[in-house]
Chains A and B, each alone.
Chain A
Amino acid sequence: MLKDVLKVLENDARTTTKQIATMTGTSAAEVTKLIKQAEKDRIILKYKTVVNWDRVEDEQVWALIEVKVTPEPEAGFDSIAERVSQFHQVRSVYLASGTYDLLMVVVGKSEHIIADFVSENLAHIEGVQGTVTHFVLKRYKDDGEILEGGEGVKRQPVIL
């Protein structure tokens, strides 16, 4: 039941508990209880909106930053990863296999600000061996949503 509720919310966080109750064939009280518990268990972390900022004429620069890290004897990659996660500019942090260790998504108002973040904040952290910054030129799909041209095709009137 919890999975059913989560699937609905993941797709549309504005679905009301009453709607979810109807969809899943249960009571609104039961849905509320499940959601409360899921929030408490940090299964549901937050309710957010997928915004296409490019359409708001709000300058925003995205960068993917590869970080090579010396793992710590006890904590491995975790303590550095947790530390860089604290920066508000950092949108995502992943531990990845391959030629680098951490992959970060960083968002800032300009390339200059992101460059500052890399040289002043990131590079100074002990254990960070090196970084490679890729500025995002265009976002096509984010959080599972196609940003432009995703309006879909209009159905033709047909007989069936």
Chain B
Amino acid sequence: MSAKQTGHSPRKQKLISRRVNRLSPSGIRKFFDLLASMEEVISLGVGEPDYATPWHISEAAVQSLEKGYTMYTSNSGIPELRQETSRYLKETYGVDYEPFGEILITVGVSEALDLSMRAIINPGDEVIMPDPHYVAYDSCVILAGGEPVMVPTSQENNFEVNAADIEAKISEKTKAILIGYPANPTGAVMSRDKLLAIADVAKRHHLLVISDEIYARLVYGVEHTCFASLPGVRDNTILLGGFSKAYAMTGWRVGYAAAPRDIITAMTKIHQYTIMSAPTMAQVAAIEALKSGEPSVQEMVEDYNRRRMIIVKGLRDIGLTCFEPRGAFYAFPCITSTGLTSEEFSEQLLLEEKVAVVPGSAFGDYGEGYVRCCYATSLADIEEALSRMKRFVHKYRK
């Protein structure tokens, strides 16, 4: 989403802060309002797992309620959850974070992202990020008083962001680089080499790197590289992670930030004044997820992969170019062959064929010409959506 001036009425402009006025309502929201008014729509729109949380995880939360764990936790999160998170990060990616001082449990990665920005940004500071990108990235920077700076990425480069392109955007105001791979909306992953090049740029220019790794576990046929695990970057990296995607826990609202002590201390200050602590029962569930959720994660990843193969082939068979997404649960086909903009495509597809996808333009200017299709939905729905899209694309194709 590009943040544009949207306030028109004089009252709104006066009453609402300039920063908030700058934000446009998410481009996705509009479609879901339209969607909500329609029936029998197949939605490839919502970016969340179609599984319920594995029951043993939910059960842990139920038991915690029965035992009366209904109070605040420590601001930083339940000590055991921080310890488990520390152990998990060490075992999975070989990164060391001290559970008491370098890990903060947050209300999803969403809060952790917001805290990161507010903790580091002074008015006018610039944060460089790839375009297209997750809808909250630029908004969080703006809300914190900073300026988002876009680095275009493209299908030709598999939507990986180039270190040289980042470097070209660095100014004396640049404070940080914000990346999120595997990526929403593209499904792109970053190779270790490309991340190393970014690490090098960050080091040379003394920039912080905020790495949103919420989709880290959802990779297919490739290994995820944790940015903080690269040599020499740990001291200038904020690692964001969570439970929503890997463990199908979106509604629980629990995630974490891991970073050097001074940064976590700063983030904790904001967190304690605005949030107090992440939901207690969700934290208990997260402990269970880290302790025994691994088999469920692997089962779900295998299942997403099967659907990924079907949707990518299906989109290509329709005649749309679609680069191979190796992460998350999105396919990001190019729809320019229809002669429609991504918004027109999404709106017409919804009205004519009752299939909901999200226009790529909602994720930045360089998302124009693409639509995001989430394949975390039943195989039957994917197949039906594909056959409807085929009819639609063939009707419009030039």
Contact = CB atoms under 8 A, between A and B. Distances in A.
Interface of A: 7-8, 12, 15, 19, 22-25, 152-153, 155, 157-160
B47 to A, nearest CB: 5
A25 B50 CA distance: 23
Interface in B94-128: none
B52 interface: yes
Given A12-B379, A157-B33, 5 more contacts: A155-B43, A157-B46, A158-B46, A159-B32, A160-B28
Interface of B: 26, 28-29, 32-33, 35-36, 43, 46-48, 50, 52, 134-135, 184, 302, 305-307, 309-310, 313, 379, 383
12 contacts: A7-B302, A12-B379, A15-B379, A19-B379, A22-B309, A22-B310, A23-B305, A155-B43, A158-B32, A159-B29, A159-B32, A160-B47
A152 B53 CA distance: 12
A25 B309 contact: yes
Nearest to A159: B26
A153 B52 contact: yes
Contacts, number: 44
Interface hub of B29, B43, B135, B306 (most chain A Cβ within 10 A) = B306
B20 to A, nearest CB: 15
Contacts of B309: 22-25
Given A22-B313, A25-B309, A157 B32 contact: yes
Contact of B306 (A24, A152, A160): A24
A22 B383 CA distance: 12
A12 to B, nearest CB: 7
A8 B383 CA distance: 15
A19 B313 CA distance: 10
A26 B50 CA distance: 26
Contacts of A23: 305-307, 309-310
A153 B250 CA distance: 13
B95 to A, nearest CB: 26
Contacts of A157: 32-33, 35-36, 46
B46 A155 contact: yes
Nearest to B377: A155
Interface hub of A15, A22, A153, A160 (most chain B Cβ within 10 A) = A160
A8 B299 CA distance: 12
Interface hub of A7, A8, A22, A157 (most chain B Cβ within 10 A) = A157
Given A12-B379, A160-B135, A155 B48 contact: yes
A15 B52 CA distance: 23
A22 B50 CA distance: 21
A7 B305 CA distance: 13
Nearest to A155: B46
Nearest to B135: A159
A159 B52 contact: no
A19 B383 CA distance: 10
A155 to B, nearest CB: 5
A137 to B, nearest CB: 23
Contacts of A160: 28, 46-48, 134-135, 184
